[in-house]
Chains A and B, each alone.
Chain A
Amino acid sequence: MGDDIRALSAQLAQDPQSLVFLRLGEALRRKGQLDAALRVAVNGLERHPHLADAHDLYARILTDKRDYERAFDEWDMAVRIAPHHTGALKGLAFLYFKVGDLEQAEAHLEQARKVEPDDASIDQAIAMMRKGAAPPAPTAPTAALDEARVFAGLEGANEGLLLIDGAGRVLGGALKDKAGADVTDTVAAYLAGVSQEAARTAKLVGLGAWMGLSAEGQHGNVHLAHPTPDALLLVVRERGMPLGRLAILAQRATAMARRWLEKQ
């Protein structure tokens, strides 16, 4: 855990705009370093005031510090930004239970269950609450916090898939070169604005909206796609993978990225 915190701190220092503050804040919170976690969350919120996950993180830390009133405000804000944010819905349910408003607590858990019907922890929380026991305090939605988890389960999620926003900021995935060096940020910087250029080029030649772009390299092939108008997805694979198969893999990654982005 200590090593994790050091590594995450270094990553954040290198790229203060990165969403890695979510993971660092949560790691510090879990370790009980609440003041440090709070500083990380507040700094992150200053940079990303409209990020529901940032408000969710801040609320969790405030809950650990027993500052329930402000925690309520933060989870409330998270739900206003992202009405289907299950972490915030569960958080609000936990706080409603704390003040004895069981009706509201259950209503929020039911709302969370509609969003994630397969989440067993929600059923468990409802059952506990009906028995009069407090539902467990909400924990971080780890899948949303780990940037590499956008493509969880997809082949090469940590070394051959990259999701960036229009400004070239890394949203998920990672890239490594042949020597195993992390080249994620370098590649992301080169690709900033590519989605917009591809859209304008396709429009000028009368092709309509662009769907994807494949290129063959001497040692590998790449495919570009855009899950949303601003975001850009890059899939990198070895030369042996045919471009058609690469496009199919990119389609699957695009769908995953789109779902992930919609949850943010």
Chain B
Amino acid sequence: MSKALDLITRVRGVRGAMLVSAEDGLVVAEQLMEGIKGGAVAALAASLAGRLRRAMEAAGTGTSVF
């Protein structure tokens, strides 16, 4: 998993990457810049993605695939 994140962060302009559990917002793997609070970002990102997914399903666009 860390290899996959490593590949992503090698792309120019990408500042960091993390894999988060959609269910509980916990960090599965991360490769972030120093000083970024991974746990807080993960919780917020999971909540954000969950709301958006439910809204998209209700709107008929199907599950978000990003």
Contacts and interface: CB of A to CB of B under 8 A. Distances in A.
Contacts of B10: none
Interface in B46-66: 47-48, 51-52, 54-56, 58-66
A191 B51 contact: yes
- Interface residue tally of chain A, by bracket? 20 to 34
Contacts of A200: 44
B3 interface: no
Interface in A163-217: 175-179, 183, 186-187, 190-191, 193-194, 197-198, 200-201, 204-206, 213, 215-217
Contacts of B40: 204
A218 B63 contact: yes
B36 interface: yes
Contacts of B36: 204-206
Contacts of A175: 59
B59 A236 contact: yes
B51 A177 contact: no
A215 B58 contact: no
A219 B47 contact: no
A177 B63 contact: no
A222 B61 contact: yes
Contacts of A204: 36-37, 40-41, 44
A73 B60 CA distance: 47
A205 B15 contact: yes
Interface residues on B, range: 20 to 34
B50 to A, nearest CB: 9
A215 B61 CA distance: 10
A201 B62 contact: no
Contacts of A234: 55, 59
A193 B66 CA distance: 20
A220 interface: yes
Interface in B23-56: 32-33, 35-37, 40-41, 44-45, 47-48, 51-52, 54-56
Contact of A187 (B35, B47, B59): B59
A179 B59 CA distance: 10
Given A200-B44, A201-B41, A205-B15, A218 B55 contact: no
B41 A221 contact: no
A217 B45 contact: no
Nearest to A221: B61
A197 B51 contact: yes
Given A222-B55, A234-B59, A236-B59, 14 more contacts: A176-B60, A179-B60, A190-B54, A194-B55, A197-B47, A201-B45, A204-B37, A205-B32, A217-B56, A217-B63, A217-B64, A220-B62, A222-B52, A222-B59
Interface of A: 175-179, 183, 186-187, 190-191, 193-194, 197-198, 200-201, 204-206, 213, 215-222, 224, 234, 236, 239
6 contacts: A190-B51, A190-B55, A191-B55, A197-B47, A197-B48, A216-B65
Interface of B: 15-16, 32-33, 35-37, 40-41, 44-45, 47-48, 51-52, 54-56, 58-66
